[in-house]
Amino acid sequence: MRDPDRLLARAGVRGDPDRDQHFLVDDRVLDRLPTYLPDDAEIGHLLEVGGGTGGLTDRLLAKAGDDGQVTVVERDRDLAAFLREEFAEEVDEGRLTVIEGDALSVELPEFTASVSNLPYGVSSEITFRLLPEKRPLVLMYQQEFAERMVAEPGTSAYGRLSVSTQHYADVEIVESIPKEAFSPPPAVQSAVVRAVPREPAYEVADEEFFLRFVKALFTQRRKTIRNAIRNTAHISGLEEPEAVVEAADEDVLRKRADAMSPTAFAELAGLALEVGEPETDG
């Protein structure tokens, strides 16, 4: 395996906190990351978002094997050029593709799984581009963000992020990463999250409305559900919020958003879709 410190030296770059650049240089952590994929995960085409200087890319190429492919999305022009040069043999063999561009806007390949050290500043947006693809994910985040992803109802960390993430997958924190594993060290500790796709335990007739409804109610997480429904019609798009309040169970209306399970949100969203006349694209 390529040594991450030597890769950094060969690339001739230094991390820049102002540009959200923190290079993972602990080879033990890099070695472990691909092993967190589920045992039954398809590894024929692995996606890496934020390739940096290639420390993880090298491990993913080994994981995919001679018959597999790795695609790296890297927004930094110089780093993308370095990756193509450093891994020229793998590029020529068709085992590695380097896409220079923003992971939020480039066309992503038909990947089978993703292992990535995400740019923390856009980690939420990238995550919600990847989750709907329903592929196994092993992604690194700021510790606090990861804890919100896996939080359960009734805890202080539980919120919109928890419900939205868990709508798509079973998620768990598999490792916490100290600041010293990066160059330069970030201000906070990091964590690795594994997301294994599965269908939710409930049905939603309109996924876009469900996620918008959850977002709306959590903007008023200190209010009761009754008041949150009334106060957030401009976000949820409900034309008749009062009709939803009148139709919902009193036990639900007395709760706050952070006490509502994803299933409870789905049931309430279904009711809101039925009687609240929300604005929809359809």
Binding-site residues for S-adenosyl-L-methionine: 22, 24, 50, 74, 102, 117
Question: Dihedral angle at the C-alpha atoms of 87, 90, 95, 101, nearest 10 degrees?
Answer: 30
Three-class SS string for 50-63?
CCCCCHHHHHHHHH
* Cα 161 to Cα 188: distance, rounded to the nearest angstrom: 19
Q: In angstroms, how far is CA 118 from the centroid of its own chain?
A: 9
* Cα 229 to Cα 216: distance, rounded to the nearest angstrom: 8
Q: Which residues is 196 bridged to in the sheet?
A: 170
Binding-site residue numbers are: 22, 24, 50, 74, 102, 117
14 CB-contact burial (10 Å; exposed 0-12 / middle 13-18 / buried 19+) = exposed
